[in-house]
Structure 1
Amino acid sequence: MLEATSRHTEAETRDAAIVTTLYCCGPRVSELCGLDWQDLDLGRGQGWLKGKGRREKELFVLPAAVVDAIRRYATHRGTAPGPVFLTRGTRGKHRDRRLETRSVLRLVRVLGAKVGLHVWCHALRHASLTAAATLGAKAGLSLNDIRAHSRHASVLTLQRYLDQHNVVQTKRVVADLVADSLKG
């Protein structure tokens, strides 16, 4: 989806930073939209966001790809206190306001369509957490480690993502085996 934007204008660098953050960090859209510059420490590659149902902000890690994308966006937008992700209306009251959840939902759908994907924001979170669990298991991380990254209250919630992924993978293997039986 990143190739759907050339990353030259402020809006394009913002969009690239949004997609990169959604995939690499797996925040909920409301968490992403709620980010303020004072919540980010790009030098340390970390930030704080208010998770679903939480009273306190929680630490989350910003991988180098996210830090780079946000810094590219900041060269256009600046880092004045306030929301990280702003609207880019052409004038008046629709310019420079906190980006709303529905705008990010539309943005992800449009960028996905440009590269032939039917995608939505929660699908990026789902893909991020599935990749985190798969790669984390190979690195020796526990499901509880991945749960902490996902900021789910329960491992059971995270397990549903993985079960759905495993069911699809199993169905794919079975379908391929059946198709291969036609060959001979």
Structure 2
Amino acid sequence: MAGRSRGLTRPALLLLGALVGLSISPAVQELVSRAEVLWGHAFTPSRAWGKGREVAVARAAVADCTTVQELDDAIANTAKGEPNVLIVGFSTTWCGPCKLMDPKVKELSETFEGRATFLKVMGDKDPESMQIMKREQVRTVPLYQIYKDGQKVGSVSGADADRLTSKIEQHTGMKATEPSNS
């Protein structure tokens, strides 16, 4: 099902995004994740009609990136406008420091929502993810590469949440304590 995401129209994918709040099937999550990468847009929460209930249209704040094309599209999207900052986290399933950073990175993705897009490459997940790690010359994990306006502008190696926060603040022009304008 995930392979068909490129053939669906934007309204169809928005409907799928709404379904994420109702049905948390892995296939729907994967399809929405791919749509977010292709359009450089995260599905955001919206109000349900009539009763004021929240419908969870948003999936995870950090989208999985599993193909070279998804990464290239996300990098290209930074040159097209807001958000023009992309943070790509490289990790592996066995990396303890990576697992410790996951909650902080999720928190940062929520703090900088509308200012930055966050992707995660799990390097030992499949051959294509390994190819991404090789192409990006990832030699240590966790590694966070920062892209702005289509170019790599920085990186943070290791589980250093303060340094990662500082780099994101530098490239978004926003302090982590300020409210996002999304």
**TM tier, smaller:** under 0.3
Larger Rg: 1
User: TM-score of the superposition, structure 2-length normalised?
Assistant: 0.25
User: TM-score of the superposition, structure 1-length normalised?
Assistant: 0.25
Pick the structure with more helix per residue: 1
Pick the structure with more strand per residue: 2
